[in-house]
C-alpha cells in the first residue's frame, strides 16, 4: 500500500480519520501495516469521542436555558374558576 510506504501520505490519511487528534509523525512510527492503521484509529476514536462529549455538554449547560417544571408554572399562572 502506498500510504504505508510514504509517511507523509500516512500522516495525512490518519489526520483525516482522526481530525480532532493532535498528531505528530513520531506517533506513527510503529505503524507498518494496514492492520496497525485500523488498530491505531480504533483506539483513538473511542478516546477522542469521550473527550468531545465532555466539551459539548459543558458548553450546553453553561449557555442553554433549561426547561423548568413548566407544568407547575402553567398551573400557577391560571386564574382559577
Partner 1 sequence: MSSSERQNWEAVCKKRVFLGRILSLMLVTLLGLGTAAFLVLYNYSLYVIVPFLVCYIALSYLGATYIVGVWFGIFASLKPLEKDKYNPIHKARALSKDTLTAIIMPVYHEDIRRVSAAICAMAEDLQSIAQHEQFHFFVLSDSRNIDLVSQELYAIEKIKEMYPTTTIIYRHRIYNGDAKIGNISDFIKRFSPSYKYMLMLDADSVVPAHSIDLMARTMEGNDNIGIVQADLSMVMRNTLYSRISKFISSISLAVGSFRQYFFYMGNSYYYGHNAIIRVQAFAKHCSLPILKRKGPWGAGRPLSHDYVEAALLGSAGYEIWSLPQIQSFEELPTNFIDDFQREMRWMYGSMTYLRVLFLRGIKPFHKVRLFTSAITYINPLFGWIFLLLSSFGIIYIFKHPLKSLIIMTKFKFIFGFMIFFLIFSIVSHGIIYLTYIHKTRKSYLFGGMSKAIISYVFCVIYSIFVSPLYMCQLTKMLLCWAISKKLHWGTQNRDDRSLEWSEAFSLTGWMVLLGIILCYIINNVIFSYYTPHVQKILRIGKLPFMIFYIPLVCGMILSPLIVKFTSSHNDLIRRKNIFVSPQEVEPAFVVSRTEELVKMFYKIVPPSIDFTFLIKSPWFFHRYFDKLASRPHKTKFWLRKIKGKNVEDLTQREKYVVLRTRELWEKFHVENME
Chain residues in the site for partner 1 (CB under 8 A) = 1, 3, 13-14, 16-19, 34, 38, 41-42, 45, 48-50, 52-53, 56-57, 60-61, 64-67, 69-71, 74-75, 77-81
- Complex with partner 1: residue 3 or 28, whichever CB lies closer: 3
How far apart, in Å, are the Cα atoms of 61 and each of 19, 52, 55, 58? 25, 14, 10, 5
- Complex with partner 1: residue 5 or 61, whichever CB lies closer: 61
- Complex with partner 1: residue 25 or 56, whichever CB lies closer: 56
- Which burial class, exposed, middle or buried, applies to 41 when counting CB atoms under 10 A from its CB (0-12, 13-18, 19+)? middle
For residue 18, the minimal CB distance to partner 1 (Å) is 8
Distance CA 12, CA 28 (A): 11
Amino acid at each position: 500500500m502506498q500510504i504505508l510506504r510514504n509517511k507523509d501520505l500516512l500522516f495525512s490519511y490518519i489526520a483525516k480519520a482522526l481530525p480532532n487528534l493532535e498528531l505528530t509523525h513520531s506517533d506513527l512510527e510503529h505503524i507498518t501495516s494496514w492492520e496497525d492503521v485500523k488498530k491505531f484509529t480504533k483506539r483513538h476514536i473511542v478516546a477522542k469521542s469521550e473527550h468531545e462529549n465532555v466539551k459539548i455538554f459543558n458548553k450546553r449547560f453553561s449557555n442553554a436555558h433549561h426547561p423548568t417544571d413548566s407544568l407547575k408554572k402553567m398551573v400557577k399562572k391560571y386564574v382559577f374558576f
